[in-house]
Amino acid sequence: MREALLSAVSAGDFDVVWLGTPCASFSILWLEGDAQPPRSRAQPDGVDGLPSWQRRYLDLHNAFVSFSKEVALATFEAGGTYVIENPVDYGYRVSPHFRWAARAHCPLWLATPMRRLAEATRPSWASGTQCGFGGDFKKPTTLMSAGPRARRLRSFNELRCTHSSHARSAVGVNEAGRNNSADAAAYPPLMCAWVMRALFGAEPVPAAAPS
């Protein structure tokens, strides 16, 4: 499957490749739990001294990150556009999404494969909140993209949360015992519609909250 996908991407079969790299090992929830966070800003690929179970977990998620980088770079080199979606860097102090309580957060964007991808492709960055598309969750999100259509997503930067509260929180579990974060993984329908119009429409369209 991996090789077949990379072969198709390298052959230029796709104009756009969208990647939602699994973010569990980069979650800010690690800062609130009893277990040691598997990553730090100083050691984004894995901190020293992890127990064996956590090391295995991290190895799996690092493989996801590395494969995302391979697919994205192959897309770019074939003349297409890649987009990688993941939570914002809550520890980046000059960001409007910075949280003091989460200043130790290690996001996907600090991982070595993502840094190397950024060096190779000079991507565009856009960070906004998905609640601006009518989502139940605030969900601050970053889009890293490079290729012919990448700049069409830059208006995502304009989405800022203006709500005093949200319908749901990504922290905790629901009545069925399901993690709220699992439900938060789904994009709001209006966001999906905007992405399609922005990337494939005749002209870029602004990201705007529903009226």
What is the tens place of the pLDDT at every residue in 165-199?
A: 776 666 655 565 556 666 778 899 999 999 999 99
Candidates 172, 149, 126, 183; CA nearest to 33 is 172
pTM: 0.91
In this predicted structure, what is the pLDDT of residue 211? 41
The angle formed by the CA atoms of residues 43, 46 and 49, to the nearest 5 degrees, is: 100
What is the distance between the alpha carbons of residues 60 and 63, in angstroms, rounded to a whole number? 5
User: What pLDDT does residue 162 have?
Assistant: 83
Using alpha carbons, select from 172, 156, 159, 163 the residue that is nearest to residue 209: 159
CA 62 remoteness from chain centre = 15
Give the per-residue pLDDT at 204: 67
Q: What is the pLDDT of residue 66?
A: 98
Q: What is the mean pLDDT of each run of 10 residues along the chain (211 residues)?
A: 95 98 94 90 97 96 98 98 97 94 96 98 96 88 98 92 70 59 82 95 70 41
The rounded distance, in Å, linking the Cα atoms of 132 and 139 is 10
Q: What local confidence, expressed as pLDDT, does residue 210 receive?
A: 46
